[in-house]
Each structure stands twice: as C-alpha cells, then as structure tokens.
Amino acid sequence: MKFLQALKEAIASLSANKTRSLLTVLGIVIGVGAVIGVLSIGQGAEASIIGQIESIGTNVIYVYRGNSAKNVTNPRNLTLTDADALSNRVRAPHILNVASVLFGQTSVRFGDESTQTSIMGVAENYAEVTDLDLSEGSFFTESNVTSRSSVVVIGPELAERLTGRRTGIIGTTVHINNYPFRVVGITTAKGGSQFSNPDLDVYIPITTMQMRVQRQSDTNAVDFLLIQAQDSQSIDLAIQEAKSILRTTHRLTSRQPDDFTLTNQEDILSIANSITKVLTIFLAGIAAISLLVGGIGIMNIMLVSVTERTREIGLRKALGARKFDIQLQFLTESAMLSVFGGLIGIGLGWLLGKIVGLIAANSGTPLIPEISLKSVLLATLFSLAVGLFFGWYPALRAANLEPVVALRYE
C-alpha cells in the first residue's frame, strides 16, 4: 500500500512540473536509445559478417604465405606446384579440391563508365571450392584457363555500375587494364560492406591474370590457396595432410618452422566475432556515457525538488512520516523518470536501427540490425539502476531533514 501511495504521489509531483520532467527524461531517452541502437547495429553487423564467411563453405581451408606466429623471414612463395601436390588424392585423401588464387586491384571500364575494384585470377574449379553461385551465364572452363582466354565473371553490383543493369549483359565486352574481356557470367548477389563487397568482384582465368594484369616474371607463384576438404568433419585431417605436403614441397627440415599459414573457417569466424564484439562493446560504452549524463540530470532535478519541497517534507515528518516513507517517495519519482525514459529510449533505439538498416539496404550492404530481448531487458534494468543510484542521495537528503528546520524554511 505504501508503494502504491508513493506511486500516486510521484505521478502527481512529476505532473506538476511537466516541462522539467520531460527535459530530465530526455537525457535517459537519448542514452538508452543510443545503447540499444549501437547494440542492434553491432549484432546485425556480426550476423552479416558471419553469413558472408559461412557462404564460402564450412569445409574450406585457406593457405597463406608466411608465418607471423613463428616470425619466419623470407618465406617461400606458394605456387601452382604446391596446388598440384595438394591435389594428389593418394597423398591427401581428405582433400577434395584445391584452387589457386591471384589477387589484386584493377580498373574496369565499359564505355564511359569506369570503376576501381578487386580482381581475382582463379582456376576453373574456384566456383566449386567456394560455392560461388551464378545468377546468369557460366563460370569459365579449363580450356579458357589453358588458352589464357579474355573472359570474365563479374559481380551484379559492378555490372549495374558499369551498364546500368544487373542482367542481360552476357557477351558484353568490358575493358580490364585496357584489355577487352568478354563477360561470360554474373555472380549471385550476396551483399557486402564498406570493407568487403563480393558483388563488386571480378574473376578471370589465373593464366590471363598472370599475363595481362600482373605481368608476373614468376608464372608459378600465387597469392594464396583454397583447399576444399571432403566435409566439415575432415577439416583437421585435411590440414594435417596439407601441412605435411607443403613442408615437403618447400623443402623444410624438421627444425624449420612452417613458412606458410593454414586457417579454416572456424578460426576466421572466431576472429570476426572477437572484432565485432569488441567494437560493439566499445561503441556501447561510449553511448552509455550519455545515459550516465541523463542520470546526473535526474540527481540534479531531484535535489532541486527536495529544496522546493522542504516545507512539505517537514510537514509530512511532523505528521508522523518516517525516513523510509520520504526516501521511498523520492526514489519512486527518480525511478519513474528513468524507466519512462528507458521505455521511450528502446523505441528510439529500434527506430535508429531501422533507419540504419534502410540506409545499408539502399547502399547494397546486407546489414539487418537485430534487437534482442536480452538487449531490451539490459537497457531497462540499467536505466532503472541509474534512476535509483542517482536518486538515492536526494532521497537520503530529504529523509534526513529535521522537521522543525524544514518547517521554518522559506
């Protein structure tokens, strides 16, 4: 009953100073809204990154030149010879396929339109290894690779930038590094971010890349290898086989560390999760500062309220109100301000997430902000805690006022 009475009195007191109450609530609204918005965007970004990584396939192993963990100096290049050795089913029964990749940046032009984008020189089995789907046309063939054909597969967003449409351009000629290439395929849209967007990528035969784009003196060297294990359960065995074969082809002794690095999807997902979580926590921490500022606003307004209602407090204590009753009254008011602000802030955070999601969708980024029940409960409880924490001192000050002194206050 005492709580219900305190609630009614709190509503009446806050209603009597609507403007002041709303301005106080505004700090909590902004703080909670910022926290909810940042968390939802962070969770959406994490889901987007994980989705893009998993779309490559859960049984893919990456092989890179060098070994930073062992501080290897002058590591040998990865080569097409390494890829051939890894493809030996007798020596590597758990390896299904191996794709060699050359990577770079290039200018792609169609008519007067030109753009800078990522280009990969790959073998004909790249699409199979990475589960790369095409919405139109087909991937290039082994004969295209052998004959160093000027054929290209491009992403749908790149196609739209160059030609104004995402379909109906098979057979069209585009210029890469000022050489004409015939478009033979368009990849299925996956979406991307400002850091990586596969829908802008370009794929050409690795032999053509060596000759016309990079003009390599060493036509055997590649940037990295992609190994497709038999299945996700064979990953560890495939890694062991690949490690043994590469140590042999690189002529490493038992005392020499690996001069290459093997990484699977699980490792990449773990790193991506760690990065996005740290970034989300960092941004949420910055956003939470505004929530603390809102809490200070509550304490300030409650101290003002205690000063204005000194005579009222003295009268209530003279009529028999205990310290607990006075504390409950002011704590209820501060809690109401923070919870009300928190609820509106949740709505603001949801709206912020939706706006960011729409902006991302219009820019071709597959970011869908996710507001979890955990985030909502956390924000609500935190805003309540802020209200109680910053309302405690004003409530204590009000409760400790002497009735005689309070009644004499002008």
Residue-level pLDDT at 2 = 61
185-205 tens-digit pLDDT: 999 887 655 456 788 899 999
Per the structure, the count of domains in the chain is 2
Average pLDDT over residues 263-281: 72
Task: Tell me what percent of the chain is helix, strand and coil, each rounded to the nearest 5.
Answer: 60, 20, 25
78-105 tens-digit pLDDT: 889 999 999 888 888 888 889 999 998 8
3-class state of residue 304 by DSSP: helix
If one compares 34 and 284, the residue with the highest pLDDT of the two is 34
Residues 27 and 121 in one domain: no
Q: Where are the alpha helices (DSSP H) in 203-264?
A: 206-208, 235-249
Residues 300 and 360 in one domain: yes
Provide DSSP, 74-139.
Answer: SPPPEEHHHHHHHT-TTT-TTEEEEEEEEEEEEEEEETTEEEEEEEEEE-TTHHHHHT--EEEE--
Residues 213 and 123 in one domain: yes
Residues 131 and 220 in one domain: yes
Give the pLDDT band (50/70/90) at residue 316: confident
Q: Is residue 259 a part of any domain in this protein?
A: no
**Which one of 228, 262, 290 terminates a domain?**
228
Percent of the chain having pLDDT more than 70?
83
Q: Is residue 169 a part of any domain in this protein?
A: yes
Beta-bridge mates of residue 204? 121
Strand-strand pairing, 224-229 and 95-110:
antiparallel
Chain centre to alpha carbon of residue 372? 15
Q: Is residue 64 a part of any domain in this protein?
A: no
Please choose, from the candidates 391, 385, 383, the residue with its C-alpha nearest in 3D space to the C-alpha of residue 298: 391
Interior/surface letters 153-190, b for 16+ CB within 10 angstroms, e for the rest = bbbbbbbbbbbeebeebeebebebbeeebebbbbbebb
DSSP tally for the chain: helices H, then strands E: 13, 12
Contact call for residues 290 and 107 (beta carbons, < 8 A):
no
Q: Is residue 7 a part of any domain in this protein?
A: yes
Contact call for residues 372 and 47 (beta carbons, < 8 A):
no
Q: Is residue 240 a part of any domain in this protein?
A: no
Q: Is residue 261 a part of any domain in this protein?
A: no
pTM of the full predicted structure?
Answer: 0.61
Residue-level pLDDT at 1 = 43
- The answer on pLDDT for 50 being more than 70 is no
Residues 43 and 156 in one domain: no
143-197 tens-digit pLDDT: 999 999 999 999 998 998 888 888 889 999 999 988 999 999 999 887 655 456 7
Q: Is residue 220 a part of any domain in this protein?
A: yes
**Which one of 196, 228, 260 terminates a domain?**
228
Q: Is residue 354 a part of any domain in this protein?
A: yes
Residues 289 and 401 in one domain: yes
Range of the domain at 377: 2-53+270-408
